[in-house]
């Protein structure tokens, strides 16, 4: 061992195996900004939604949400889908990361 800046480092002379932890990705319904966010490695990214308060399906970059309130993530094989409760549009929206698009799968755009 040796010390370079007060910390001690040990050399591993003959490593045979190593384990890698998968990156943790967190998805957030950013309600007041009408967007879905992805947090990875302490960085926040816009996943979907332009920020306009209305509903519109389509590519992730041009899709629109209307006060998204909650979400759930599904991963079957390598396909990740995110289901979003889009409260003011009274609908459930699906974000398909494989296709990079948003689709309304249930509900209406009208008030109850």
Low-confidence ranges of the chain (pLDDT < 50): 1-11, 16, 20, 112
Q: Which stretches of the chain are assigned E, i.e. beta strand?
A: 2-3, 8-9, 25-30, 35-40, 43-48, 58-59, 68-76, 79-86, 91-96, 101-107
Q: What pLDDT was estimated at residue 3?
A: 39
CA–CA dist 9, 7 (Å, integer) = 7
Give the pLDDT score at 50: 95
The whole-number pLDDT of residue 9 equals: 46
Tokens 């549009």 map to which residue? 89
| CB-CB contact of 30 with 36 (8 Å) | yes
- Write down the pLDDT at residue 2: 42
Instruction: State residue 96's pLDDT score.
Output: 96
């Amino acid at each position: 061992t040796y010390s370079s800046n007060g910390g001690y480092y040990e050399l591993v002379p003959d490593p045979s195996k190593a384990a890698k932890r998968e990156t943790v990705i967190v998805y957030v319904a950013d309600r007041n900004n009408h967007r879905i966010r992805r947090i990875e490695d302490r960085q926040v990214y816009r996943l979907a939604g332009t920020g306009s308060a209305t509903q519109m399906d389509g590519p992730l970059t041009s899709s629109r949400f209307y006060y998204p309130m909650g979400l759930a993530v599904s991963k079957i094989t390598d396909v990740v889908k995110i289901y979003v409760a889009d409260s003011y549009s009274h609908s459930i929206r699906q974000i398909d990361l494989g296709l990079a698009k948003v689709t309304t799968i249930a509900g209406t755009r009208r008030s109850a």
